[in-house]
Chain A
């Protein structure tokens, strides 16, 4: 389930988001039509429409749940920070990131990954083989893949030894006893940690069986968060915390140095797409992180993926 569906507006009907998508698509089409009428080329019209509308993903999320506003701003700030950091490490985007399509506006999620993995030098094995996968949209620009595209990737992939989906860092309400805090969380598929190469400092990671609605009431916490906010409770493993109003068991602890999908992420929960998200190829809500097979270069991977991408729709 992606982060925006987890928050308080989870009670809203899903039709709402489809309607909003219609609205946004119409808006962009109208800008383009006007530009073409004025003599712009379809490409120029498209580029203008994107720039003028702004980040459609972010706007859709914000509209769907306005309380995310503050978080989105925080995220943008994080991304800006990351970009600044990025600028200090010349040339490394070429060696550490596979962009299926590097569009005009690079998706911020990439920077988050780089910030975490490369710039903060996470003690992950072979971090230079980690990459973020995005898709180029038919109209240009990058977007996280849809759930179905992600499945196709898995089947068609020859260059990655593993692949995992995650949500952008998102916030959750965490209640421990009488105290409730808003914390930044990552929603991730169970193969996420093995892909990243991170091991728990205590307890265990998510099982494949826990990536299902109903059995996903488990969380991992970051060690320093346990030490401070959870008072270093020695009996934390197996304890129930209330996450967005739902009891979840703490099953493991991750090292303080693990900072993905966000520097501030202190809790991780299984990513379980909602049925409509899992079946809709137009729902681009699932950035992927992958690990290259040994001996496969970024260039090889790039060629491979742009080849098989042609088979995917939308």
Chain B
């Protein structure tokens, strides 16, 4: 199957996850969801479940590293952390994002 048509949206989710992990220790999925919610003042309504396809894909891409650990409440969880390749990807995604929003902003000014 070819690239999915919501690549942009997917890229945005990647960006959020990478950013969340770039600023902290290894986090489990719920931790990442909490960080995204907190930073976006709950403006970004992402179903928590949709993080997992992204996390697994990004781990395969080796942007993230995943390790099993135990939560405070003694539950098994996979903890994700960002790799060097992930940081590179983050820089690229941030740049993309800036370009995109810049282009849209310019369009809105002149259209």
Point out residues on A near B: beta carbons under 8 Å. 19-20, 22-27, 29-31, 33, 52-56, 58-60, 62-63, 66-67, 69-70, 182
Contact = CB atoms under 8 A, between A and B. Distances in A.
A23 B52 contact: yes
A258 B64 CA distance: 46
Contact of B75 (A30, A52, A58, A70): A30
B49 A22 contact: no
B1 A27 contact: no
B103 to A, nearest CB: 27
B41 interface: no
Given A22-B76, A67-B1, A27 B53 contact: no
B48 A27 contact: yes
Interface string B1-21: 100100000000000000000
Contact of B71 (A26, A54, A55, A66): A26
A237 B93 CA distance: 53
Given A22-B76, A30-B77, 17 more contacts: A20-B52, A20-B56, A24-B49, A26-B30, A27-B29, A30-B75, A31-B48, A53-B47, A53-B48, A53-B49, A55-B49, A59-B53, A62-B53, A63-B53, A66-B56, A70-B1, A182-B1
Contacts of B4: 69-70
Contact of A30 (B47, B49, B50, B73): B73
17 contacts: A19-B78, A20-B52, A23-B29, A23-B77, A26-B71, A27-B77, A30-B73, A31-B48, A52-B47, A53-B49, A54-B48, A58-B49, A59-B50, A59-B52, A66-B53, A70-B4, A182-B1
A155 B96 CA distance: 59
A66 B76 CA distance: 24
Contact of B73 (A20, A33, A58, A59): A33
Nearest to B52: A63
A62 B49 CA distance: 10
Contacts of B1: 67, 70, 182
Given A26-B76, A31-B30, A33-B73, A52 B53 contact: no
B73 A29 contact: yes
B34 to A, nearest CB: 8
B57 interface: yes
List 8 A-B pairs, minimum CB-CB distance, nearest first.
Answer: A54-B47, A59-B49, A54-B49, A30-B30, A26-B77, A63-B52, A26-B75, A63-B53
A181 B1 CA distance: 11
A29 B75 contact: yes
Interface in B29-47: 29-30, 33, 47
A58 to B, nearest CB: 8
A27 B28 contact: yes
A170 to B, nearest CB: 14
A164 B57 CA distance: 35
Contacts of A31: 30, 48
Contacts of B56: 20, 63, 66
Contacts of A25: 75
Given A19-B78, A26-B75, A69 B53 contact: yes
Contacts of A63: 52-53, 56
A57 to B, nearest CB: 10
A31 B50 CA distance: 15
Contacts of B77: 22-23, 26-27, 30
A54 B50 contact: yes
A23 B78 CA distance: 6
Contacts of B53: 59, 62-63, 66, 69
